[in-house]
């Protein structure tokens, strides 16, 4: 269930952005990077320096009152994965799955099971998807090497 009152602060911020930032002449901006820079400049030079009418403080000063309550994540090499996108894939009977037109080997025997993949939203950044099963991190997905997997030892007639 959603609580409208809990969203009030962010909704008010968006209204302020619409009423005070987006209504300005932005016709000189020709790229997303320029827009982001202009917005950052507006936040730092205008929004954070104006006293808020409800609590009589500048937003930056109000934020500073709660700095002691902020909890930080412990350093972990996998923290960036918290911001990855997620999708699920069913592992095939040959213990592989497909993601973005690439076949990958499952890190364990997970035939017939559904795994969760976390992947970077920025395509082409070189990061491989990360496989999870029942909330356990299994590791980075390894693309299937069909040639290497095709090389099986030469078995005799009675060998199985």
Radius of gyration of the chain (CA): 25
Instruction: State pTM to two decimals.
Output: 0.55
- Residue entry with tokens 């799955």: 97
Output the average pLDDT for the chain: 85
The pLDDT of residue 2 is: 60
- Residue entry with tokens 């507006």: 42
Decide which of 69, 92, 107 is a domain's last residue: 69
Decide which of 15, 42, 69 is a domain's last residue: 69
Whether 153 maps to a domain, the answer reads: no
Pair 60, 112 in one domain: no
Domain that includes residue 30, residue range: 4-69
Residue 159 has pLDDT above 50, yes or no: no
Could you tell me the pLDDT band of residue 117, with boundaries at 50, 70 and 90? very high
Whether 27 maps to a domain, the answer reads: yes
The pLDDT of residue 111 is: 93
In terms of phi and psi (left: phi > 0; alpha: psi -120 to 50; beta: otherwise), the region of 100 is: left
């Amino acid at each position: 269930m959603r609580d409208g009152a809990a969203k009030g602060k962010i909704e008010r911020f968006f209204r302020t952005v619409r009423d005070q930032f987006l209504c300005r002449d932005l016709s000189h901006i020709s790229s997303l990077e320029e827009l982001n820079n202009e917005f950052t400049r507006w936040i730092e030079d205008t929004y954070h320096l104006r006293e808020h009418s409800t609590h009589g403080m500048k937003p930056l000063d109000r934020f500073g009152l709660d700095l002691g309550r902020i909890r930080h994540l412990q350093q972990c090499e996998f923290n960036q994965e918290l911001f990855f996108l997620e999708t699920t894939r069913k592992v095939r009977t040959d213990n592989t799955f497909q993601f973005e037109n690439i076949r990958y080997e499952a890190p364990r025997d997970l035939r017939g099971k559904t795994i969760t993949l976390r992947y970077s939203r920025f395509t082409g950044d070189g990061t491989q998807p990360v496989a999870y099963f029942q909330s356990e991190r299994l590791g980075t997905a390894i693309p299937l090497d069909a040639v290497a997997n095709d090389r099986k030892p030469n078995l005799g007639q009675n060998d199985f």
